[in-house]
Amino acid sequence: MDFSETSEQSQLYREIEIPFGFPEIFFSRTDTRGKIQAGNEVFQRISGYSWSELAGKPHNIIRHDGVPRAVFWLLWDRLKKGLQTGAYVKNKSKDGRYYWVYAIITPCEGGYLSVRIKPSSAIFGVAQAEYATLARMEAEETLSPAESAMRLMARLTALGFETYDAFMAASLSAEFSARDANLQKAPRRTLALYERLMPSAAELLAAARQISEGYLTYRFVPLNLLVHAGQIGETGAAIATISTNYNILSEEIEHGLDGFLQAARTVSHTINVGAFLLATSYVQQEIASSFSTETPMDGVDHEVENAYLDQQRATYQAEALKSLAGIEQELKNFFGMISEMKRLASGLAAIRIMGKVESGRLSVAVVQDLIADLEAFQEIVQSGLSDILQANGALRMDTSRLLEAYATEDAPIPR
């Protein structure tokens, strides 16, 4: 055998992409360790292996070294926690050619089920570039998979995805919509609304964080003011009273902000998870119905796999609906916290006015500087709250539209 020719050929094949169409959806089912138990004809055909070569083999039989280890580390970390996971995956077929998929992997009885669609959105391009960089870094710096996963997370944060859930939600709904467009299908109103909800929730979180950071920057102002008021003596008595009140209020703000920030994170997380679950349920609906009409492959029990797919479809449809209702609830909770923050903000505004009057009367430079700091903090709170009110209004409106769209357009078909 001429090995040089073989390696030349495999080098050449490495650069060749296997074509497949947007309508083609892959599925495979594994045991808890990732050994292939079942799959469909699309998966078998594109992999280039016969079914008997795939059955019982670890899923890394089609692993491509272009996927950083970080991705699989994250995938398994989530799967072991029972969490549904989405990821871009580049695979290698038997002859060395490659193909990209967007994989949605969910826990199922006795293992996991992976359903894969053809990616084409703008986020796909970003992911490809990130994977190439990270795979290179892993090789050059001999990073452990966990270290590499931390780098991947840092990159995703820099790209505007607060968490992996945020990345999954944005990427899957973008892929689903892009695929619909490629198939000339009308866009799903529900997903379009989720695509509006996600940035609004990110804005809400950013504004809450801005207030929280403002608090940290100026947290010593009330105490400093109190110290300086003491040093001024008799004439600083009014400033001392103002500082004491400010100090009490500041502690309330600190406590209030913890819950406020947490509630904003929960709103954002619930929306991200909801978007991912809804798109997952759509993809699973499609594979369940396409597989039921597919000619069975030898070695795959069609009835058993139909039952698995139908079970997943029903589970994720219910999960998607549950999370939709959860968004409304979380927004209500958050709204309650806004009223509390508004109350604290008006207390702050009152102290600011009193402080300004007193500091003008005293004309002590350091006190004036501290009052200017108090003003700066109050402005941060005010502008943060106004951003939050705006984002919250948009979120509430789009959520009720989403519930309506789900109930009318996409209501689950009773079986």
Ligand X SMILES: Cc1cc2nc3c(=O)[nH]c(=O)nc-3n(C[C@H](O)[C@H](O)[C@H](O)COP(=O)(O)O)c2cc1C
- Residues of the shown chain interacting with ligand X in the complex, contacts defined by CB under 6 A: 28, 30, 34, 59-60, 62-63, 72, 89, 91, 103, 105, 112, 114
Q: How far is the CB of 393 from ligand X (least distance, A)?
A: 41
Nearer to ligand X, 62 or 202 (CB): 62
- Pick between residue 73 and residue 260 the one whose CB is nearest to ligand X: 73
Which residue number, 269 or 313, has a Cβ lying nearer to ligand X?
313
Supply the minimum distance, in Å, between the C-beta of residue 60 and ligand X.
Answer: 3
Query: Which of 113, 240 has the CB closer to ligand X?
Result: 113
What's the min distance (Å) between Cβ of 188 and ligand X? 25
**Nearest to 39, CA basis, from 48, 50, 52, 26:** 26
Residue bearing tokens 């007193």: 358
Query: Residue 61: exposed, middle, or buried by beta-carbon count in 10 A (0-12, 13-18, 19+)?
Result: middle
Please state the closest distance from residue 303 (CB atom) to ligand X, in A.
20
Beta-strand relationship, 85-92 and 98-108: antiparallel
- SS3 state of residue 26: strand
Please, which residues have CB within 8 angstroms of residue 83's CB and are 6 or more apart in sequence?
107
Instruction: Find where tokens 């109050």 sit.
Output: 378
204 and 388 Cβ atoms separated by less than 8 Å: yes
Min. distance of Cβ 54 from ligand X in angstroms?
11
Integer Cα distance of 171 and 131 in angstroms: 15
Cα separation of 98 and 94, whole Å? Answer: 9
Are 105 and 116 in contact by the 8 Å Cβ rule? The answer is no
Token pair for residue 238? Answer: 């009014």
Closest by CA to 324, choosing from 260, 281, 384, 265, is 281
Nearer to ligand X, 137 or 227 (CB): 137
CB of 39 to ligand X, least distance (A): 10
For ligand X, which is the closer residue by CB, 62 or 240?
Answer: 62
Q: Which is nearer to ligand X, 72 or 282 (CB)?
A: 72
Q: Supply the minimum distance, in Å, between the C-beta of residue 103 and ligand X.
A: 6
DSSP 363: -
